[in-house]
Structure formats: C-alpha cells, structure tokens
Amino acid sequence: MGPDRTSMGRRDALALLGGALALPFSVGAGAALPPLLLAHEAADHIDPAGWLVSEKLDGVRALWDGVRLRFRGGGAVAAPAWFTRQLPSIALDGELWIGRGRFDELSGLVRRASPDDAAWQQVRYMVFEMPGGPLRFHERAAALSDLDRRAGSPRWQAVPQSTVPGRDALRRRLEDVVRGGGEGLMLHRSDAVYVTGRSRVLLKLKPMQDADAVVVGHAPGRGRLAGRLGALQVRTDAGLVFQIGTGFSDAQRDTPPPLGSTVTFTYRGLTPQGVPRFASFLRLRPDAWASDRQSTSEAKSASRERSPRASVTCPLCGQPLKRSTA
C-alpha cells in the first residue's frame, strides 16, 4: 500500500522531469511557504483557445513539499501518515476534496488537530500543479497525469485538464458542472511557465464572482436579528472596507467569523466606487488560519478605531460587536 507506490512515485517523477524539477519549498518544520499562483476572474465570453480547462473544486488548498502537507497559510495539515505516505516525493499544489457541495464537511475534517482515520478515508488530494521547473503548463499537466496513472493511488489524483473547442462548448461545460453541484471552471494558459502571485495565466469562470477579505468588525443585528450578527465589516487586500450582511446561517450569526479571520464572499460585479455588488458570505476560509491568527490583534485594533460603541458581545471571539460607521 505505502512503500512500493511511494518509491515508484519518486522514480517516475524524476524520470518524467529529468531531475529538472527541484523542490521549491523548504521542508523545515517552521519554514514559510513561497507565494502561490492565484487566479483572476475570467471574462464572461472568453475564447478558450490556448487554455487547458478543469473543474474548479470546492476544496481546501494544500501544498505538498515532498515531506509534509501544509495549508495555504503555512499551517501543517494533520493528515494521517498512511495518507501522506502515498504522495510522491516532489512538490505538488492542489486541493483536499471529498466531493461537490461538501466543503463544510471537509473543512471540519481537516481542521482537527488529530486526524480522524475513518473520515480521512474519503479525502483525496486533487493535484493541479507541480510548482517550479522549466516546463510549460501543458507539459506539467501531462507529467502529472502520467505520474497519477502509474502510481494508481486512491489518495491523490491529477485534476483532469482538457481543451475546449470554442465559447459555446465552454458555456455548455460550465452549465453542466454547475448543474451537477460544482463551483465552476478553471482555465490555465497551456503555454505558461510556472509563475506565482495573482496572474492572468490562471482564470476562474463561475456564475458568480468570489473574493477574500479579512473581518475587521461586527455590526449588530436589528429586529429579528437583535442580539446576533447583523453584518460583517471586512477589508480587502486593496484596503476597501465594506459590509457583508447576507449568506449567513442562524448558527453563523450566533457564532460569527472572528476578527482577523479571512472569509470568502460572492458578488456580481462592482459599483462605480469599486464596491462589490450583492456581496454575500460564502464561507470562512480554513486554509488561512495561521496567517489569520497572526493578524487578529491588528484587526481588533482597527475595528476599535472605526467603531467606538459596543452593543453586543461576539460569542466566538469575546469582543464587543461594533456599530459600523461605514
């Protein structure tokens, strides 16, 4: 189960890549991860010529450095040893995934300090990238697919990449994925060398756009929401501060995302002032816990400066819920 496939993965990877793919990640326990490749939003009528297309999975981003599995924020994933033993000894980038529409279940599973062996049996590491090296993306994708085929491991899988003949076919494929409960599609430039940071060599195509923001305040609810969360006050990487008041379950309004945490929200375009239209809470991003915890004190301080009056105490973080001044 473990040793044969692990050694085979190492031999295959080196044979496929000719030893050119050096591990770009330090394997030290406390080492920080390098920047990752992040996607831009795709235009509605993008021509898919020159792109490889795959399904956008609603999983948790995870980096494998050849030794350990880590969240996007740098924290270690408490995966069972029998799971990681079957991963090849090269750097991989992908998502932990258990199926469409099961993100909340997955999130609760992977955040545990001690892994639940029975629950982890259903987890797969869906790999879409081999970081580093000189190969073009279509070459990296082919190498990943070949390595996956030879390893035959149930624990990890190369995300299928394919060409799409035109705009109409791309639209139909998006509709099929969404109808089946999927999030959308990813488009990666076929001829792209490996790059990091947010880049237009990688695009996401969804019925709605989404983005991340840091929680900097809680606005108390009114009426039937009195004594509970009314809206989150969030700040984007660009420094834009606005409120998200929809998309929360009753349980999330009772125990809202804490100050300093990173949340994902959906929206439909931007106002002339650059504010997301119809912003709606999607989820707390579990792969940013390490960096979220480091920024919590800063976010609390920023929230106090913006909102001097408190009315309700947040039951999760223990801080007063602030009246938004926005």
Same domain, 222 and 315: yes
Q: pLDDT by residue for the chain (326 residues), tens digit each?
A: 333 333 344 444 444 454 334 444 444 444 566 789 999 989 878 999 999 999 999 999 999 999 999 998 889 999 999 999 999 999 999 999 999 989 889 999 998 999 999 999 999 999 999 998 889 999 999 999 999 999 999 999 999 999 999 999 999 999 999 889 898 999 999 999 999 999 999 999 988 888 999 999 999 999 999 999 999 999 999 999 999 999 999 999 999 999 999 999 988 778 878 899 889 999 998 765 444 444 444 444 444 443 323 333 333 333 444 433 33
Same domain, 64 and 116: yes
Last residue of a domain, one of 205, 236, 255: 205
Last residue of a domain, one of 205, 238, 267: 205
Give the strand order in the sheet containing 184-189.
37-41, 197-205, 184-189, 51-56
- pLDDT of the residue at 18: 41
CATH code of the domain covering residue 174: 3.30.470.30
Last residue of a domain, one of 182, 205, 228: 205
Q: How far apart are CA 49 and CA 166, in angstroms?
A: 7
Same domain, 183 and 131: yes
Same domain, 167 and 53: yes
Task: Find the domain containing 302 and state its range.
Answer: 209-322
- pLDDT of the residue at 44: 76
Same domain, 175 and 217: no
Same domain, 76 and 219: no
Question: What residues are annotated to the active site?
Answer: 56
- pLDDT of the residue at 137: 97
Same domain, 11 and 39: yes
CATH code of the domain covering residue 269: 2.40.50.140
Same domain, 114 and 242: no
- pLDDT of the residue at 43: 85
Looking at the chain, which runs of residues are DSSP E strands? 37-41, 51-56, 60-64, 69-71, 92-97, 124-129, 156-158, 184-189, 197-205, 209-220, 229-235, 241-244, 262-267, 280-284, 310-313, 320-322
Q: What share of the chain is helix, strand, coil (3-state, %, to 5)?
A: 25, 30, 45
Same domain, 148 and 168: yes
- pLDDT of the residue at 273: 85
Same domain, 195 and 216: no
- pLDDT of the residue at 121: 96
Per-residue burial over 57-72, b = 16 or more CB atoms within 10 Å of its CB, e = otherwise: bbbbbbbbbebbbbbb
- pLDDT of the residue at 260: 93
Same domain, 76 and 54: yes
Domains held by the chain: number = 2
Same domain, 191 and 72: yes
- pLDDT of the residue at 123: 97
